[in-house]
Amino acid sequence: MSLTREQMLREMGISPIWTLRAPQQDAGMVEEATVPEAPAEPRSEPLAVVAAPLEAPATQAERDPVPVVAVPVTSQGGAAITAVAGLDWPALSNAVAACRACSLCQQRKQAVFGVGDLNPDWLFIGEGPGADEDVQGEPFVGQAGKLLDNMLQALDLRRGEKVYIANAVKCRPPGNRTPEAAEMAACRPYLERQIALLKPKIIVLLGKAAVHAVLHDDKSLASMRGKRFDYAGIPAVVTYHPAYLLRNLPEKAKAWEDLLFARRMLRAQEPAELPF
Ligand code: URA
Ligand code: SF4
């Protein structure tokens, strides 16, 4: 069933109070999300959660002008990075399927490589497969995935069309625990090679594990939201993990702000429309 735009925004907890503002100076249309009342939705099943402190969102003044934080591309994967550096997409996928570089290989049903358009504008990166993903071999197919799909739909996007979805680690951490730093370091070369081959125009980091894997940063998500990071020349932005949002529904409005911010970063790269 496909939802109307209004239904989707309601699902994301941001309807009916987000509005289109009149153009500001030369900044074009700016959409604005306001923190809504907590919607009366039932509490969802427990899911792998990336904890993040509850802090007030950065004000517009704090976020403008957009700061750019450059991040060195430094894989700590040692031998693995050398091994994957020259691989093409099918070879990389095969290497991940057969990988035994960390102990997460022991309890997985299968490695979950990623899914989507191989020429994407958007790359969304999560933490690691959960139980559903481990069975189905595709990222974000459980409850958190449904919310991610709704978030994509609210942006008029769909997985597979200009969107690729991947995870910081490719194998399910037992009991949905957070991946350990050593596991993320072992898996990082695959993610880095995926990014190098996909060449997305914007990277959206969903939760702390993805931030740690890509930006090598352990600061709070709240302090990193609304900033433009730079990964190998690609803009990267930070937001909350969908599983966290399922348990903290009022935070959905902040995630929506983050997605609009990401879209602005993406659109800023597009050539201006000709005036005729
Ligand atoms: N959570 C994640 O981070 N990734 C998935 O693929 C599913 C849930
Ligand atoms: Fe290999 Fe990554 Fe799976 Fe560890 S999580 S076994 S490094 S594919």
Q: Token pair for residue 88?
A: 């093409």
Quote the mean pLDDT of the chain: 81
Cα dihedral: 229, 70, 28, 12 (round 10): 0
Q: Is the CB of 114 under 6 A from ligand 1?
A: no
Pocket lining: 179 vs ligand 1, CB cutoff 6 Å: no
Which residue type does 31 have? E
Order of strands, sheet of 163-167, starting from the edge strand that comes earlier in the sequence: 68-71, 228-231, 234-239, 202-206, 122-126, 163-167, 115-116
Give yes or no for residue 140 CB within 6 A of ligand 1: yes
72-269 CATH: 3.40.470.10
pLDDT of residue 103: 97
pLDDT at 1: 43
Give the separation between CA 140 and CA 121, rounded to whole angstroms: 19
The response to whether residue 139 sits with its C-beta less than 6 Å from ligand 1 reads: yes
Let me know how long the chain is.
Answer: 276
Q: What is the pTM of this model?
A: 0.77
Best probe residue, ligand 1, of 45, 109, 140, 143 (max atoms within 8 Å of C-beta): 140
Spatial distance between the Cα atoms of 252 and 257, rounded to a whole number of angstroms: 9
Greatest pairwise CA separation for the chain in angstroms: 60
pLDDT at 83: 80
Question: What CA–CA distances, in Å, run from 129 to 84, 126, 176, 246?
Answer: 21, 9, 8, 17
Q: Which of 17-21, 182-186, 228-232 has the lowest mean pLDDT?
A: 17-21
Say how many Å lie between the CA of residue 187 and the centre of ligand 2.
Answer: 5
Q: What is the mean pLDDT of residues 8-12?
A: 60
- Tell whether the model's pLDDT for residue 19 goes beyond 90: no
In ligand 1, the atom with minimum distance to the C-alpha of 207 is: 3
Confidence band of 61 (pLDDT split at 50, 70, 90)? very low
Instruction: Count helices and strands (H / E) in the chain.
Output: 11, 9
Provide mean pLDDT across the span 139-158. Answer: 97
> For residues 97 and 99, what is the distance between their CA atoms, to the nearest angstrom?
6
Mean pLDDT of 168-180: 96
Query: What confidence score (pLDDT) does residue 40 get?
Result: 37
Q: Would you say the CB of residue 87 lies under 6 angstroms from ligand 1?
A: no
87-146 residue pLDDT tens? 999 999 999 999 999 999 999 999 999 999 999 999 999 999 999 999 999 999 999 999
Residues 6+ apart with CB under 8 A from 209: 50, 126, 127, 128, 168, 169, 178, 179, 184, 241
